[in-house]
Structure 1
């Protein structure tokens, strides 16, 4: 398949291409890997954004003859563009300059209108975007990899050798100031007799972000190359990793005490045709194939690995237990912390249905969703492996006075908006539309910066919009359903009814006492219109009639609407009859950070509240 060629009638574009090609004939000596034209919006041909892009690429190309790392910006908002490049540190300055010039030409040839793109060569990486990218460990952009078709005879031993060597290189690259994100090393691996390893991060993400980036690549390498490829190259947006049985890099000069004993290297080589497997993320040829992320093998962990990570499901590693099973904290061999859900025997889901659901959920990627890393289906065990979220679940903070006092209104509003965005992604924006059906505060986890992450989507029972309204009212009041009802004078029977918050809020609204709903621990320094708007939205979502509830699209628009008038005027609902009361269930609070209890039926009323009709769900 012929690659697309970039055409433009604008003279500045022609001048830019001439600048790149002038006195430049080294492209054939460089090793091109892949270009990712990121699907995050397009610019118009001959626009100011394109003009800024051309100037930015010209600036980057000019700096490449002086330094092996550079970043810059060009233009004014909304046409500001950000760009950066870094070269492999064992490349000469001349090769670095040639590579960046070639990369700049390639990126405009392959990506004719995308506002964000990245191009990888073995010798350099170049990137631009319409958003800040410096110093950000960005794992949302798809990377690339090449692997050999030839495998070693002892793949398990290779994995162990690489794990030991790469772990030491991660430390050197990330935390040794003199290495600036770059490290190489050799490990003994008969009969080759050695394996040569290289890792590198972009110098703007040194420290923990660099280590995390490299560990993500290593996990991908283990999943991809468990057959034991004799060489592999992996490229992420901010870091890269490579190993080979033959020397391919030039050792950097270092003090004698730090210098490794290495055989004389051979020049960097390109893989031979008989060795090469197709690149995972599309080269421009008809034989290239893309490996789907939905491949269940790439998501599967061995039971031995998970037992090791959780110390054989040790009691002191147990985080809690919910309706679907217990959750354990674990640490994988590469150091990544995970949360492992061990599904109970009561889970009657078949193997095919289980793996299909895992593959579907693993495709969902959003900053407000807990990321599913994989699963284990072995020896009667069904295990789900999630990213570990270090803070507690929302219920454990909201319903604990000592912890809740640190939740100011700004943090609570951020949590409300984050949950809304996560649900909107599940309902509308993801390729696979998901209704959570068991949304509650114990299924909302909080990260280091108190950003909410929704857990257990795809495995539950109830209406999301209704439950979101309940969480909003709980977040504002700082009280659970039971305490909420007791605090505002409901009798003991109603205090056990799930989701009575809606009726209490309606009653307070009609009596002009709605601000009594606000948690006193917030204090008095909060924007009253914003709080009032959140209460309105919470009550609106928690109506008994499902057809009267808004969509999550409408919810997010209302929450972010700066106008104080969003035409939602709740009115008091009548108290349910004893017949309806008997339908309700006694709810017990969950202990698990991925808690999922059944029996979440909404409170029913014979009366209906009056709301402006927005798109019902």
Structure 2
């Protein structure tokens, strides 16, 4: 997926012509008119150049704020390999079942199995379109098969500019892989003070945990935005998610652990955006609204 470019409108439009100067010349022999016209053209060229520079800066900043497209991470277990090709075929059949789901909820946090031998699970943000989730999962399965060709358990994450997804399989319904997948935006760093950014991300995380773990939130997904001082006012957007069926205490602990990992990798070193993803939960913050991409 190619990076998208955000064109940011300047906060104040420049005035190209002064009210005290003529807008049109009706006589080419009028020296004042000619002089005024030349002066206005020079002023206009200078202002247009300044506006162009501002647009270029905004475009570069918008690109820098976004994660690198199609980042991926995998982890294979050390629990041994499948003992036969039939078991590998069973794994492939369960992956095919993932592609047949008809709503995002079916992708997000549910186990599928064939013959009680291989279990697979996929996760997508609950707010995205079905075709986006399915496309991400289809992109992740070959990557997982390539890097964990025969192992009894494997997990892979794909992080895109506007969503993420996970695919997990195992020969048991109980996973043993809980590693963190960490993604963040490339340089340059945000001009925000590291302490203020960490404080802003922490406040955002607290609000997101409150939303995600609310009793009536069956999707276990939360999205929120808030401003922080950096030293000028900036806006952070973020989301949190726990997989379906996870006990409340486990979900809250996972999100707290994800917040601590986020500070280590990203907010304390002034990253524009960061993702912390695990089997049980996910946390994402950015300086742009990734749900609008």
Name the counterpart of 1:121.
Answer: 158
- Structure-2 separation of matches of 1:192 and 1:118: 39
- Structure-1 separation of matches of 2:111 and 2:130: 17
Name the counterpart of 1:203.
Answer: 244
- Structure-2 separation of matches of 1:31 and 1:206: 31
Tell me which structure has the larger Cα radius of gyration. 1
- Structure-2 separation of matches of 1:245 and 1:179: 27
SS of residue in 2 equivalent to 1:188 = strand
- Structure-1 separation of matches of 2:87 and 2:253: 33
Equivalence map 1:259-278=2 (5 Å): 265=292, 267=293
- Structure-2 separation of matches of 1:236 and 1:220: 11
Deviation by residue 1:335-385 (Cα, 9 ceiling, x = unmatched):
xxxxxxxxxxxxxxxxxxxxxxxxxxxxxxxxxxxxxxxxxxxxxxxxxxx
Name the counterpart of 1:607.
Answer: none
Query: Under a length normalisation based on structure 2, what TM-score does the superposition of the two structures give?
Result: 0.66
2:213 is the counterpart of 1:171: no
Matched-pair contact (CA < 8 Å) for 1:64–1:100: no
Query: Under a length normalisation based on structure 1, what TM-score does the superposition of the two structures give?
Result: 0.33
SS of residue in 1 equivalent to 2:274 = strand
Any stretches of 5+ residues in structure 1 without a counterpart?
1-29, 250-264, 268-617
Distance 1:57 1:192, change over 3 A: farther
2:255 is the counterpart of 1:214: yes
Name the counterpart of 1:51.
Answer: 89
2:125 alignment partner, one of 82, 88, 112: 88
- Structure-2 separation of matches of 1:167 and 1:184: 12
- Structure-1 separation of matches of 2:191 and 2:215: 32
Matched-pair contact (CA < 8 Å) for 2:220–2:243: yes
- Structure-2 separation of matches of 1:206 and 1:184: 20
Name the counterpart of 1:188.
Answer: 227
Larger RCO (CA within 8 A; separation ≥ 6): 2
How far 1:227 moved relative to its partner? 1.9
Matched-pair contact (CA < 8 Å) for 1:187–1:194: yes
Matched-pair contact (CA < 8 Å) for 2:98–2:107: no
Matched-pair contact (CA < 8 Å) for 1:174–1:210: yes
**Coordinate RMSD, CA, aligned:** 2.2
Q: Which has the higher strand share?
A: 2
2:236 is the counterpart of 1:236: no
How far 1:61 moved relative to its partner? 1.7
Name the counterpart of 1:61.
Answer: 99
Any stretches of 5+ residues in structure 2 without a counterpart?
1-68
SS of residue in 2 equivalent to 1:208 = helix
- Structure-2 separation of matches of 1:31 and 1:192: 30
How far 1:31 moved relative to its partner? 3.0
- Structure-2 separation of matches of 1:132 and 1:95: 26
- Structure-1 separation of matches of 2:143 and 2:80: 19
Distance 1:105 1:64, change over 3 A: farther
Deviation by residue 1:156-184 (Cα, 9 ceiling, x = unmatched):
11111221221121121123433511101
Matched-pair contact (CA < 8 Å) for 1:61–1:104: no
How far 1:50 moved relative to its partner? 0.8
Name the counterpart of 1:154.
Answer: 193
Deviation by residue 1:413-466 (Cα, 9 ceiling, x = unmatched):
xxxxxxxxxxxxxxxxxxxxxxxxxxxxxxxxxxxxxxxxxxxxxxxxxxxxxx
Matched-pair contact (CA < 8 Å) for 2:180–2:277: yes
Equivalence map 1:292-303=2 (5 Å): none
- Structure-2 separation of matches of 1:94 and 1:192: 36
Name the counterpart of 2:114.
Answer: 74
How far 1:101 moved relative to its partner? 2.0
- Structure-2 separation of matches of 1:160 and 1:126: 32
Distance 1:90 1:32, change over 3 A: farther
- Structure-1 separation of matches of 2:91 and 2:178: 19
How far 1:102 moved relative to its partner? 2.0
Equivalence map 1:237-316=2 (5 Å): 237-249=279-291, 265=292, 267=293
- Structure-2 separation of matches of 1:202 and 1:99: 17
Deviation by residue 1:121-146 (Cα, 9 ceiling, x = unmatched):
2332111112223xx7x6x5322112
- Structure-1 separation of matches of 2:242 and 2:158: 14
SS of residue in 2 equivalent to 1:114 = coil
- Structure-2 separation of matches of 1:106 and 1:64: 23
- Structure-2 separation of matches of 1:54 and 1:242: 30
Name the counterpart of 2:53.
Answer: none
